[in-house]
Structure 1
Amino acid sequence: MRALNFVDARLARRNTRRLVRDLPYGPEARRRLDIYAPKRAAADRPVLVFFYGGNWDSGDKHDYAFAGRAFAELGYVTVLPDYHHIHEQPYPAFMADAAAALAWVRSHVRDYGGDPDRIAVAGHSAGAYIAITLALDPRWGAVDMVKAGIGLAGPYDFLPFDSPVTRRTFGHVADLPATQPVNHVRADAPPLLLATGDADTTVYPRHSQALAERLRAAGGEAELILYPGITHTGPVKAIARPFRGHAPVLRDIAAFLAKHGL
């Protein structure tokens, strides 16, 4: 994503700003975050916390600055956290990091113009797993903070293990069903937007479809979008300026969040 981020930065309008870079949300080196916001200062803006993907084993928030700029253009105080990759610390370290980042946001985002009572989480691929798990699984202490969740091409239902990636990440866990977002649906869950490409052969669309169906059956709210002809990286690339014409991802996210008062 580094090259894409470079091109997006060259094309970006100058109506957003990065407020902080590498701000600690905990004592460990991987617990750092960046914050983006509209250039025009204001108080109590809605907040979006975005988690990048990378098989839970790669990625860097700096390479996803295009997402911070894009959501800031929509009016959100946008937070991009880093987290431990599994070669550094095994699961559940990345979930503990994500929960700690969200708790930090809840406590401090007002200092950066954000409203701590209007927080949404979003992510792509492995980051979508993180975001949606925070929204659904009460073990991470975040369900009361999250007002809406957005998952782009995320894995939510992969038992029995459907790839070497999921086996490598979760194979050591004793309670495997507890690792599956589909097993944490509930009627009082925050509304979810689950968007993916119908040509995704890395994380098949059935993951988003299964979670949407399970959440609706439990009495919750899920909006499912399948983008025709879009592959696995397409939904996140469509956030960046060079690829925004490929799928209306930003428009759909903005409409979903506005619908839910965010």
Structure 2
Amino acid sequence: MVWILGIVAMLAAALVGIWHYAINNNAVALLDGVDRVVGGTRGTRTALADGHYGPLADQRIEVVVPDGAATAPRPVIVFIHGGGWHSGTPGEYHFIGRTFARQGYVVVLVGYRMVPEGAYPRMLEDSALAVAWTREHLAEFGGDPERVFLMGHSAGAYNVVMLALERQWLGRAGVPEGFVKGVIGLSGPYDFYPFTSDSARAAFAHVADPALTQPIHFARGDAPPMLLLTGDADTTVKPRNSFALAKALTAAGLPTAPVVLAGVDHAGPVLKLAQPFMRDRRVIDPVLAFLAAHGAPSAPVQAAGR
């Protein structure tokens, strides 16, 4: 019996190691494969694979939905991936789609141009066009236009928070004020000038006024509500980013408090949205509570499994 427990522990440690290696080396497709093998696809369906919201190769979009007919329009999550603005594709993040589709959400996975072509402000222009595409097409996938939320990890968290704070991006794309009902930022950079990483310099160093690239510069009291979730062991995007933006939003009239996870690093918030690591509920529970508090209660349609 003891040797069996030892093997199980070694396998669990190996899975964690694989997951962190993949996140840190931008091999997220491997992570998606682990989730698919462990959690299966039951209860979910890919409604759109390798679609496009624009004419460029990186302007890609994929949609994952709950399997089966909807009895009412479903809330929508638009998820924008991380990768330092230089790597990643929406197809690698189907585990995010499966996790939230099982909770009754239509999940739109967004790609955008990568650096150097995608340097500021291109990543924001593309992300806004993807939200506009979602607004135009969500009914085709059973989505509810009154319950649309943005979510992103790392560089993707920057994208979604900037869309929510600086009105020009969604406005230029034809998305009306108030369309986005809430924003979830996981391990996001919001107050990171001066630029100290190669990724940030490649994406933003060319901007004449760096303050204009910083979400904290646009904090406003009438922005959509925000959930800023970070780990206290994140050395890639330090937790002070979430604290600083939360403080600025609160001062502007939008009370915001970061959710800080003890012992969790930069990859941790994404890891804990996939099987088998979602047994640690410290990410999924506050995310679902935030969505419910702002009009999108969960309606689980199927547990994970084959």
TM-score tier (shorter): over 0.9
Greater strand proportion: 1
| Residue 219 (structure 2) aligns with | 185
Does residue 92 of the first structure (1) align with residue 121 of the second (2)? yes
Does residue 154 of the first structure (1) align with residue 194 of the second (2)? no
After superposition, what is the alpha-carbon deviation per residue over 1:3-52, rounded to whole angstroms, capped at 9, x for unaligned? 11101112225011111111221111211211011112214211100001
After superposition, what is the alpha-carbon deviation per residue over 1:182-241, rounded to whole angstroms, capped at 9, x for unaligned? 111111111000001000001000000000111011001324100000000000111011
2:64 to 22, 33, 36: 36
Q: Which amino acid aligns with 1:26?
A: G
Gap change, CA 1:13 and 1:90, over 3 Å in 2: closer
Q: Is the 8 A contact 2:65 2:101 kept in 1?
A: yes
| Residue 233 (structure 2) aligns with | 199
Does residue 7 of the first structure (1) align with residue 34 of the second (2)? yes
Q: Output the CA distance in 2 between the equivalents of 1:127 and 1:94.
A: 9
Farther-moved stretch of structure 1 (103-112 vs 156-165): 156-165
| Residue 82 (structure 1) aligns with | 111
Farther-moved stretch of structure 1 (132-141 vs 201-210): 132-141
Gaps of at least 5 residues in structure 1 are: none
Q: CA deviation at 1:61?
A: 1.1
Q: Output the CA distance in 2 between the equivalents of 1:242 and 1:61.
A: 21
- Percent identity, aligned pairs only? 48
Q: Output the CA distance in 1 between the equivalents of 2:44 and 2:245.
A: 34
Structure 1 segments, 4+ long, off by >6 Å, are: none
Q: Output the CA distance in 2 between the equivalents of 1:102 and 1:161.
A: 28
| Residue 234 (structure 1) aligns with | 268
Q: Which amino acid aligns with 2:67?
A: K
Q: Output the CA distance in 2 between the equivalents of 1:144 and 1:162.
A: 34
After superposition, what is the alpha-carbon deviation per residue over 1:57-99, rounded to whole angstroms, capped at 9, x for unaligned? 0011111110011111111100001110013342211111100
Q: CA RMSD in A?
A: 1.3
Q: Which amino acid aligns with 1:34?
A: E
Q: Which amino acid aligns with 1:5?
A: D
Q: CA deviation at 1:144?
A: 2.9
| SS of 1:244 mapped into structure 2 | helix
Q: Is the 8 A contact 2:50 2:91 kept in 1?
A: no
Q: Is the 8 A contact 1:54 1:126 kept in 2?
A: yes
| Residue 104 (structure 1) aligns with | 133
Work out which of the two has the higher radius of gyration on C-alpha atoms and give 1 or 2: 2
Does residue 163 of the first structure (1) align with residue 190 of the second (2)? no
Q: Normalised by the size of structure 1, how large is the TM-score?
A: 0.96
Gaps of at least 5 residues in structure 2 are: 1-27, 297-306
Q: Is the 8 A contact 2:112 2:118 kept in 1?
A: no
Q: CA deviation at 1:159?
A: 1.4
How many residues are aligned here? 262
| Residue 25 (structure 2) aligns with | none
Q: Which amino acid aligns with 1:185?
A: A
Q: Which amino acid aligns with 2:160?
A: A
Q: CA deviation at 1:247?
A: 4.9
Q: Is the 8 A contact 1:19 1:37 kept in 2?
A: yes
Q: Output the CA distance in 1 between the equivalents of 2:206 and 2:264.
A: 33
Q: Output the CA distance in 2 between the equivalents of 1:203 and 1:84.
A: 21
| SS of 1:23 mapped into structure 2 | strand
| Residue 302 (structure 2) aligns with | none
Q: Normalised by the size of structure 2, how large is the TM-score?
A: 0.83
